[in-house]
């Protein structure tokens, strides 16, 4: 199977050399996390690297990356006080095994795979439950993807089909190529890709030919919709808008061989008759073949894209970036590392938690985001420092709720009557004065403000005037900053000593202890505002909530 | 000669007259000997059927939008998008007998003649119904009330009332002679304007009264999705004339996405209508009016008018035909081979095709 | 504060009042009116009633002898002598999804990067016209927000501040009970925290985050420029009481306040179905505010330094389809330009008799971009972006400014 690797001479030489280096290391069977560090250091050369991040920073980072929220004050104090040598790896282990991992990673993978669209007949809730179940235990990424494409599950595994949405053939082709293969083939629908020479129109239509028999059908008795396949009898025809030459292809993965469409005797094409609203089941089902071929160990394109995206999710940037531009004109920053991760991931049965563990045990992941002494600037792709990632909209909401201590303000989902649906649109146009009280409504508001519009990938940090205005002036946040029983500002109000206020403030909002300079600022501000001390404490919380240190996962 | 019995499911295309430009209106003359049609090429085309003659009348300066034969005399009235109405003595003359220069500030979308031949009535973009003397085109009266452009007019079979239908789905009923509004009927289902639309879409596009006057069928489309492609669900509302309420809503089984441009009741009480679709085949649709689903559909290109021959067995549809250059962009075509779309005036005979006489 | 905004290439010190005044007098601005979907040239700028592809509407005389527009453009017909129209835009892309970004990016020769949309490009190349205002504001139906995507490979801060339905973000108002002094005090705390965070970090994302706060506070300080309560009801009548009319009037308000680039979008012009009934209603909605804007800018002495462009991603087919609509037609279509550096009364481009094809010189969007940059005082062939060590052309190097419409 040919793979679209860089073919220029310099890259070939490097490949051979990297292969030799790798060969030595693999023979020695060092753990993957050590190999990651070795390759990163090797590529950067003899230059200073930042030290490993301090405990508070590490706790906050891992907490966000594995559970989707900042740690509580108690968790910070406990971790800082823990003397055991293995506390970092123990923490990673605890989080990987915990419930919050499944919930959070279901959320992140959902945003990556569905891009906030809600298409098809599976509800968002059913899909999240399915993903959550897959991620609890020992999730295997190839198995998860295979289920999503095969989409023939019933009962609890039926929601896997949500990834394919409403079975729009072109949309499915584009999504599979972008999200599972790292190839944005959208522009290759009407002609060979205008700027990426190795992406051909035949790649687009070869994928299309796996998916174009798929359609929705509803089981009459239970009223549920499934994805079925019609009978494929011939290749897919296409022509370039530029040269109008007719071409055709059967199902074919980029870099793979063409699947032959079998011709059956009339009457022999189906293996199951139509029943209960579902059509007859053909013997040849190209989408099921795709599910297997695409997730096969040997299909490197899928594995490389998978590890690239998992790397992106914890490191903030893919080794190949942008994530759907994996081609020779856009080589990865560390081709050897990408190849190693791909090989190891597939070698370990696409064990997602194993890969996450190995990445997080590396120094590369644990490095501080502060520059090493004497260094003014580094290239982010050198990994000499960790590059901070923006909090996702959902992380931001959860963190703000945790910080301000207003979790008790949230109505449980069932208590809201249909008649009093919160007017989300009116919240943004200023046509009413109400505040959302359910987590769903709050999430919707944060997602609308901080997320990308539906259908757009959420990859890079994108600050905006409207987002900053929101954090500064939003009514809901102002409401949370008013002292209320048990919330942060109320708790601060009970502390008489400025130093205690500073400690509680920084532990709670920034998940660390304040430095001396910071204790002084707090004290100065409280003195200047002695006549309105409680409100001033709200100002302090506001200022840290709006700071870069809070906004970023550093 | 007796006519064969009506048998719509056995209908067949018995006659086709080709034309090299798009025609939007086509009507049989009351004696069934002529077909008049008009559209994009600004000309009025006449075919004398038995003699196989063809005439072209020049006079309009823009698209012909409405055509109606005089109910009693051998006269033809035609109107256009500039508000002009011509009266033609079509068998003899090549120039209009008389002309109304400003029957509307823009498009005269509907033109009808009373059964007694006294009045010619027009309506269109300026939302005012105008009654003219059919003999000389002098204005008799104006009927005001509609707020948006009027697409169609029709008379009740007893000749006592006129109905008018507009873009907003409102129908007004007027009494002939006293010229007063009598009633309003609600066909707002056929109008769509969602919040993000820039304009109103749809409207009441066609009328047909049943022969006994008990039912009024109103054609258009509902649930338009946009004001860009303007795709909707072709829909007929069947009103009980006595009560003014909708008795039935009729639809299609096929994929057409445009309004019902024309409706016609048949002798057996069934209804027929024609709709349109983008870049594909549309349909001629037949219903028993108490059933929502059609009893029969005939695949046909998009059609814009219907006319029933006085023998009540032949139905005329000006039908869209692609010239082969349709779709987005030139795609390599040149001015020489980028050709306009055309028309076929297709006549459907609503009975079983007679067997070919045996040879020898 | 000025430094943190960036994009002020060459305008080193604006602190001296006389220098500031000089530059203020020179400042060029742009208004792009985008009719998304493809306005029909047969029903607007190029009616050709004798063409075999003509629609049913009249063509009317304009203020330029011998030149006619569609009757649906009655206001623009009266001011034809103030504008230029190019009737032979001839571009390659018949699709919306690729055509819209292609048109708005100027279709440069591909260098493997996402080029910025015109507004972001001008924001970068010329900087803000008023350092306290965002350089690129986008008035559109639907939702607002900050659309960094339009900045392409440029820094996110050159994205568009989008005003949903022309309204400023609701969060532009300080919360009740927070005075401007208090707001200043708590922002000072925030800035101190950020200084500490940035002390050992050199990160463009964090800089961009801070910049967004600076811009946010500046917007709050100047929020009256978004207040459409201040608009004269007679102006509202003149521009038209419909969304595009309102939004073009709001664009005028922003241009008067000193925003460098204002884009106004209208959607649903893609009349594949019922094109004639729809054009009858839609085209006047663009015609009326366009003409009102040109006249108002002229009256205020702003037309000579404000460029106005009204266009779509392509035109519509000469052929009329089965739904009485017109499909997409990039082969030969029309756009209108006026203002800064543009000739008054130049109607440019010969087509075939029936209007479907270019007869002679056709112009691609690259030519249009060279024209736009040229009249804004930017040499499209020499100015380059610097991106990751590469020099990138700002417009398609194979194209040229359209002399026929330039003064």
Sequence-distant (≥ 6) Cβ neighbours of residue B70 within 8 angstroms: B30, B76, B77, B113, B117, B134
C313: Cα within 13 Å, side-chain hemisphere:
27
Position C197 scores a pLDDT of 95
Q: Which of B24, B226, B278 sits opposite C323 (nearest CB)?
A: B278
CA distance C205 to C148: 13
Q: Which two tokens stand for residue B23?
A: 């025609």
- Report the chain A residue with the minimal C-alpha distance to residue B332: A242
> Domains in chain C, please, with CATH?
16-168+227-405 (3.40.720.10)
Mean pLDDT on A507-522: 96
Residue that is written with structure tokens 């499909």 in the block: C327
The yes-or-no verdict on residue A3 having pLDDT over 60 is no
Give partners of A (≥3 CB pairs < 8 A). B, C
Interchain contact, C324 vs B226, CB within 8 Å: no
Q: Which of B201, B228, B82, B337 is nearest to C316 (CA)?
A: B228
Is residue C350 within 8 A of residue C358, CB to CB? The reply is yes
pLDDT at position A412: 64
Q: Which of C280, C320, C321 sits opposite B279 (nearest CB)?
A: C321
For chain C, list residues with pLDDT below 50: 1-23
* Closest CA in chain A for residue C109: A195
From A190's Cα to the closest Cα of chain B, the distance in A is 13
Q: Token match 């009319």: residue? A: C245
pTM for this model (two decimals): 0.83
Report CB contact under 8 Å: C271, B196: no
Q: Name the residue with tokens 């691609």.
A: C364
Give the number of beta-carbon pairs within 8 Å between B and C. 136
Beta strand ranges found along B138-295 (DSSP E): 139-143, 150-155, 161-166, 170-175, 181-186, 191-192, 201-202, 206-209, 215-222, 233-240, 245-250, 262-265, 271-274, 282-287
What ipTM is given for this predicted complex?
0.96
Mode of pairing for the β-strands spanning C29-35 and C261-266:
parallel
Q: How many beta-carbon contacts under 8 Å exist across A and C?
A: 149
CB contact under 8 A, B80 and C37: no
DSSP state letters, C297-340 = HHHTT-GGGEEEEEE-S-EE-SS--TTS---EE-SSEEEEEEET
User: Model confidence over A105-153: pLDDT tens digits?
Assistant: 999 999 999 999 999 999 999 999 999 999 998 999 999 999 999 999 8
pLDDT at residue B273 above 80?
Answer: yes
In the A/B pair of chains, how many CB contacts fall below 8 A?
3
Q: B-contacting residues of C 118-157, CB under 8 Å? A: 141-142
Q: Are B315 and B347 in contact (CB under 8 A)?
A: yes
A85 at interface of B, judged by CB pairs closer than 8 A: no
Residue A11 has a pLDDT of 62
Interface of A with C in 302-341 (CB under 8 A): 329-330
Give the minimum alpha-carbon distance from A171 to chain C in angstroms, rounded to a whole number.
Answer: 13
Of residues A194, A465, A551, nearest to C146 (C-beta):
A465
Beta carbons of A241 and B332 less than 8 Å apart? no
From chain C, pick out residues whose CB is under 8 angstroms from the CB of A464: 145-148, 156, 159, 161, 212
Q: Terminal CA-to-CA distance of chain A, rounded, Å?
A: 41
For residue range A36-75, list pLDDT tens digits in order.
999 999 999 999 999 999 999 999 999 999 999 999 999 9
* Predicted confidence (pLDDT) at residue A4 exceeds the cutoff of 50: no
Q: Quick one: pLDDT at residue C143?
A: 82
> Encoding tokens for residue B110?
């509907």
* 3-class SS of residue C266: strand
Distance CA B258, CA B224 (A): 9
Q: What is the DSSP string of A353-384?
A: HHHHHHHHHSHHHHB-SSPPTT-----GGGTS
Contacts of C22 (CB under 8 A, 6+ apart): none
Contact list, A244 vs chain B (CB under 8 Å):
331-332
Which residue in the set C94, C280, C320 is minimally distant from B22, CB to CB? C320
pLDDT band at A97 (very low <50, low <70, confident <90, very high): very high
Say if the Cβ atoms of B231 and C273 lie within 8 Å. Answer: yes
Total residues belonging to chain B: 360
Q: Mean pLDDT for chain A?
A: 91
Band (A21; pLDDT cuts 50, 70, 90): low
Question: Is the CB of residue C73 less than 8 Å from the CB of residue C61?
Answer: no
Q: Work out the number of other CB atoms within 10 angstroms of the CB of residue A20.
A: 10
Whether residue A420 has pLDDT greater than 70: no
| Reported confidence tier of residue A437, pLDDT bands at 50, 70, 90 | confident
Q: List pLDDT tens digits, range B31-89.
A: 999 999 999 999 999 999 999 899 999 999 999 999 999 999 999 999 999 999 999 99
Residues 196-255 (C) with a CB less than 8 A from some CB of A: 196-198, 200-203, 205-206, 208-213, 215-216, 219-220
Tell me whether residues C274 and B201 touch, CB distance under 8 A. yes
Query: Nearest CA to CA, how far is B331 from chain A (Å)?
Result: 7
Q: In B, which residues are within 8 Å of C242 by CB distance?
A: 198
Would you state the pLDDT for residue A425? 81
Q: Mutate which of C91, C101, C146 to test chain A, going by most A C-beta atoms within 10 A?
A: C146
The Cα–Cα gap between A209 and A230 comes to 12
Do C146 and A467 make contact, defined as CB atoms within 8 angstroms?
yes
Residue A421 has pLDDT above 60, yes or no: yes
C318 to chain B: which residues are within 8 Å by CB? 338
Tens digits of residue pLDDT in B116-165:
999 999 999 999 999 999 999 999 999 999 999 999 999 999 999 999 99
pLDDT digits (tens, 9 = 90+) for B195-232: 999 999 999 999 999 999 999 999 999 999 999 999 99
Nearest to A546 among C148, C190, C208 (CB): C190
On the question of pLDDT at B357 being above 50, the answer is yes
State the Cα–Cα distance between residues C8 and A550, nearest whole angstrom: 30
Q: Which of A422, A441, A442 is nearest to A432 (CA)?
A: A422
B331 touches chain A (CB under 8 A): yes
Partner A contacted by C145 (CB < 8 A)? yes
A376 CB within 8 Å of a chain C CB: yes
Write the residue in B196, B201, B329 that is nearest to C141 by C-beta. B196
Of C153, C145, C148, which Cα lies nearest the Cα of C116?
Answer: C153
> Nearest CA of chain C to the CA of B278: how many Å?
5
The predicted pLDDT at position C112 comes to 67
Mean pLDDT of chain C: 90
Is any Cβ of chain B less than 8 angstroms from the Cβ of C321? yes
Query: All domains of chain B, ordered by start, with CATH?
Result: 8-325+338-349 (2.130.10.10)
Distance of CA B190 to the CA centre of its chain: 17
The nearest CA of chain A is from the CA of B333 a distance in Å of 12
Chain B residues in contact with C57 by the CB 8 A cut-off are 62, 81
Q: Over 60: is that where the pLDDT of B360 sits?
A: no
B-proximal residues of C, 65-124, CB under 8 Å: 94-95
Residue A406: its pLDDT value, please?
73
Q: Which of C161, C205, C210 is the closest to A465 by Cβ?
A: C161
Contact A465 C196 (CB under 8 A): no
């Amino acid at each position: 199977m040919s793979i679209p690797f860089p073919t220029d001479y310099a890259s070939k030489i490097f490949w051979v050399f990297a292969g030799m280096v790798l060969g030595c290391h693999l023979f020695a069977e060092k753990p993957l996390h050590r190999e990651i560090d070795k390759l990163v250091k090797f590529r950067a050369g003899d230059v200073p690297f930042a030290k490993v991040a301090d405990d508070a920073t590490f706790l906050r980072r891992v907490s966000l990356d594995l559970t989707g929220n900042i740690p509580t004050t108690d968790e910070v104090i406990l971790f800082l006080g823990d003397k055991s040598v293995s506390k970092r790896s123990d923490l990673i282990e605890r989080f990987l095994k915990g419930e919050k991992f499944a919930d959070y990673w279901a959320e992140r993978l959902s945003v990556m795979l569905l891009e906030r669209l809600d298409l098809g007949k599976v509800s968002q809730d059913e899909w999240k439950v399915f993903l959550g179940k897959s991620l609890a235990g020992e999730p295997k990424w190839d198995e998860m993807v295979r289920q999503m494409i095969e989409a023939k599950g019933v009962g609890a595994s039926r929601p896997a089909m949500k990834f394919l949405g409403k079975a729009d053939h072109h949309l499915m082709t584009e999504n599979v190529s972008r999200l599972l293969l790292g190839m944005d083939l959208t522009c290759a629908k009407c002609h060979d890709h205008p700027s990426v020479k190795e992406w051909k129109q035949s790649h687009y239509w070869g994928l299309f030919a796996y998916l174009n028999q798929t359609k929705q059908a509803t089981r009459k008795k239970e009223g549920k919709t499934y994805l079925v396949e019609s009978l494929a009898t011939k290749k897919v025809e296409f022509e370039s808008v530029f040269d109008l030459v007719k071409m055709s292809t059967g199902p074919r993965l980029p870099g793979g061989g063409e699947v032959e469409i079998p011709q059956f005797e009339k009457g022999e094409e189906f293996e199951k008759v139509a029943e209960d609203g579902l059509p007859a089941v053909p013997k040849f089902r190209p989408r099921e073949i795709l599910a297997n071929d695409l997730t096969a160990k040997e299909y490197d394109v899928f594995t490389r894209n998978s590890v690239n995206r998992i790397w992106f999710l914890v490191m903030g940037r893919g080794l190949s970036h942008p994530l759907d531009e994996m081609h020779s004109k856009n080589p990865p920053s560390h081709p050897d590392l990408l190849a190693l991760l791909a090989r190891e991931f597939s070698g370990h049965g696409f064990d997602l938690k194993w890969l996450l563990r190995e990445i997080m045990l590396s120094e590369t992941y644990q490095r501080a985001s502060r520059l090493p002494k004497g260094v003014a600037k580094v290239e982010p792709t050198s990994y000499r420092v960790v590059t901070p990632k923006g909090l996702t909209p959902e992380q931001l909401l959860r963190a703000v709720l945790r910080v301000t201590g207003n979790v008790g303000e949230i109505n449980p989902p069932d208590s809201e009557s249909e008649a009093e649906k919160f007017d989300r649109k009116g919240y943004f146009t200023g046509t009413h004065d109400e505040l959302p009280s359910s987590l769903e409504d709050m999430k919707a508001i944060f997602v609308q403000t901080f997320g990308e519009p539906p259908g757009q990938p959420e990859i890079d940090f994108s600050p905006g005037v409207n987002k900053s205005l929101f954090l500064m002036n939003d009514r809901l946040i102002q409401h949370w900053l008013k002292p209320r029983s048990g919330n942060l500002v109320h708790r601060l109000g009970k502390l008489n000593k400025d130093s205690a206020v500073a400690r509680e403030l920084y532990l709670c909002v920034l998940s660390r202890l304040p430095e001396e300079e910071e204790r002084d600022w707090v004290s100065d501000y409280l003195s200047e505002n002695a006549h309105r001390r409680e409100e001033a404490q709200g100002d302090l919380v506001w200022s840290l909530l709006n700071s870069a240190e809070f906004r970023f996962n550093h | 000669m007796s006519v064969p019995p009506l048998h719509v499911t056995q209908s067949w295309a018995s006659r086709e007259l080709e034309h090299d430009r798009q025609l939007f209106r086509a009507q049989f003359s009351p004696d069934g000997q002529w077909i008049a049609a008009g559209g994009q090429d600004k000309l009025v085309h006449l075919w004398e059927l038995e003699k196989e003659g063809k005439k072209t009348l020049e006079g309009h300066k823009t698209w012909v939008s409405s055509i109606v034969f005089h109910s009693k005399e051998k006269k033809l009235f035609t109107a256009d998008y500039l508000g002009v109405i011509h009266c033609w003595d079509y068998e003899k003359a090549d120039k209009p007998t008389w002309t109304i220069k400003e029957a509307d500030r823009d498009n005269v979308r509907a033109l009808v003649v009373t059964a007694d031949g006294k009045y010619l009535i027009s309506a269109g973009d300026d939302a005012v119904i105008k009654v003219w003397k059919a003999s000389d085109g002098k204005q008799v009266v104006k009927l005001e009330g509609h707020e948006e452009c009027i697409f169609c007019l029709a008379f009740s079979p007893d000749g006592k009332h006129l109905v008018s239908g507009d873009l907003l789905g409102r129908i007004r009923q007027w009494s002939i002679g006293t010229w007063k509004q009598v009633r309003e009927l609600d066909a707002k289902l056929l109008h769509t304007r969602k919040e993000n639309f820039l304009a109103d879409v749809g409207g009441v596009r066609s009328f047909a009264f049943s022969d006994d006057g008990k039912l009024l069928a109103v054609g258009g489309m509902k649930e338009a999705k946009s004001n860009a492609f303007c795709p909707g669900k072709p829909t007929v509302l069947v009103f009980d004339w006595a009560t003014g309420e909708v008795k039935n809503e009729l639809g299609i089984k096929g994929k057409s996405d445009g309004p019902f441009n024309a409706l016609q009741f048949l002798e057996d009480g069934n209804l027929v209508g024609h709709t349109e679709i983008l870049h594909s085949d549309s349909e001629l649709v037949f219903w028993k009016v108490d059933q929502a689903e059609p009893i029969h559909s005939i695949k046909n290109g998009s059609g814009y008018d219907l006319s029933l021959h006085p023998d009540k067995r032949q139905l005329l549809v000006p039908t869209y035909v692609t010239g082969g250059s349709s779709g987005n962009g030139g795609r390599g075509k040149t001015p020489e081979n980028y050709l306009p779309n055309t028309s076929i005036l297709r006549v459907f005979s609503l009975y079983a095709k007679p067997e070919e006489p045996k040879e020898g | 504060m000025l430094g943190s905004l960036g994009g002020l290439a060459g305008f080193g010190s604006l602190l001296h009042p006389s220098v500031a005044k000089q530059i203020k007098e020179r400042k060029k601005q742009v208004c792009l009116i985008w009719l998304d979907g493809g306005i029909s040239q047969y029903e607007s700028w190029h009616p050709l009633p004798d063409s075999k592809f003509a629609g049913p509407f009249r063509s009317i005389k304009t203020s330029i002898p011998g030149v006619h527009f569609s009757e649906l453009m009655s206001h623009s017909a009266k001011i034809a002598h103030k504008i230029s129209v190019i009737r032979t835009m001839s571009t390659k892309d018949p699709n919306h999804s690729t055509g819209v970004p292609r048109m708005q990016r100027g279709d440069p020769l591909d260098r493997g990067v996402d080029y910025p949309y015109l507004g972001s490009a001008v924001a970068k190349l010329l900087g803000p016209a008023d350092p306290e205002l965002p350089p690129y504001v986008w008035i559109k139906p639907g939702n607002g927000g900050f659309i960094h995507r339009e900045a392409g490979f440029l820094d996110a801060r050159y994205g568009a501040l989008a005003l949903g339905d022309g309204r400023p973000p609701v969060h532009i108002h300080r919360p009740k009970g927070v005075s401007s002094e208090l707001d200043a005090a708590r922002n000072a705390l925030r800035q101190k925290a950020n200084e500490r965070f940035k002390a050992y970090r050199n990160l463009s994302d964090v800089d961009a985050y801070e910049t967004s706060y600076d811009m946010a506070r500046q917007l709050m300080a100047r929020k009256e420029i978004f207040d459409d309560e201040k608009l004269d009801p007679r102006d509202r009548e003149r521009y038209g009481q419909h969304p595009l009319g309102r939004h073009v009037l709001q664009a005028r308000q922003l241009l008067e306040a000193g925003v460098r680039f204002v884009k106004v979008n209208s959607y649903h012009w893609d009349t594949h179905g019922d094109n004639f009934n729809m054009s009858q209603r839609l085209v006047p909605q663009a015609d009326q505010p366009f003409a009102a804007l040109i006249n108002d800018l002229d009256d205020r002495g702003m037309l000579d330094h404000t460029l106005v462009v009204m266009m779509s991603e392509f035109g519509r087919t000469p052929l009329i389809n089965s739904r009485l609509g017109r499909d997409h037609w990039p082969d030969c279509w029309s756009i209108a330009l006026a203002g800064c550096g543009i000739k008054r009364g130049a109607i440019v481009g010969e087509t075939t008799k029936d209007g479907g094809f270019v007869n002679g010189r056709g112009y691609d969007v690259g030519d249009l971009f060279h024209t736009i940059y040229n009249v804004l005082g930017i040499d499209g062939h020499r100015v380059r972006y610097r991106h990751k060590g590469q020099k990138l052309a700002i417009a398609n190097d194979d194209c040229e400014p359209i002399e026929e419409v330039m003064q």
